[in-house]
Amino acid sequence: MVTEYGESGITAMMVPLTIDGLVYAASMVILHSARARTRTPWLAWLLLWVGITATLAANVAHGWRNGLVGSIVAAWPAVALVGCYEMLMWLVRSDNRQGSEAAREVADIDQQAVCAYQESVRIGSPLSERRLAERFGNSRRWARTIMERSVNKDEE
């Protein structure tokens, strides 16, 4: 399409790549911000929408010579690509959040177990590995680690 407006050769071939590359790069910045739990730069959102708009406009313009239906058909690959890519990014971002929440939950359970074991020792009736494991729904190996950690905390 850009060849109709005077571009040729490598420049004409690169224009679609620069548009899709802009969408990709902006998405990666947004993903990085989500993982780092930092605010996403406004420029990343702006360039994401500029890239989406540019790719849709180029496809619609390319199909325009075939009327409204031609424009819709020509726009469809861009809509599908951007939609699928953004859904993938959403999955990655939400999986990252769930992973960090799960890690916090495990740390909380471990801390609760350490406190429970230390309290049982303090009152003179230490929990056994089996009882600690049963109480928190974990393995005896996990309970042994908790007990060792509890002893190490007492020594500090």
Are 155 and 119 within 8 A, CB to CB?
A: no
- By the 10 Å C-beta count (0-12 exposed, 13-18 middle, 19+ buried), 45 is classed as middle
Would you mind telling me the total number of residues written for the chain in this entry? 156
Query: CA-CA distance, 142 to 99, in Å (whole number)?
Result: 20
Neighbours of 53 (CB within 10 A): 11
- Could you give phi then psi for residue 14, rounded to 5 degrees? -80, -25
The pLDDT tens digits along the chain (156 residues) read 666 666 667 776 777 788 888 888 998 898 888 777 788 899 999 999 999 898 888 888 888 888 999 888 988 988 888 888 778 877 776 765 555 555 566 568 888 888 888 888 888 888 898 998 888 888 889 889 988 888 776 555
- What DSSP string describes 130-146? HHHHHHHT--HHHHHHH
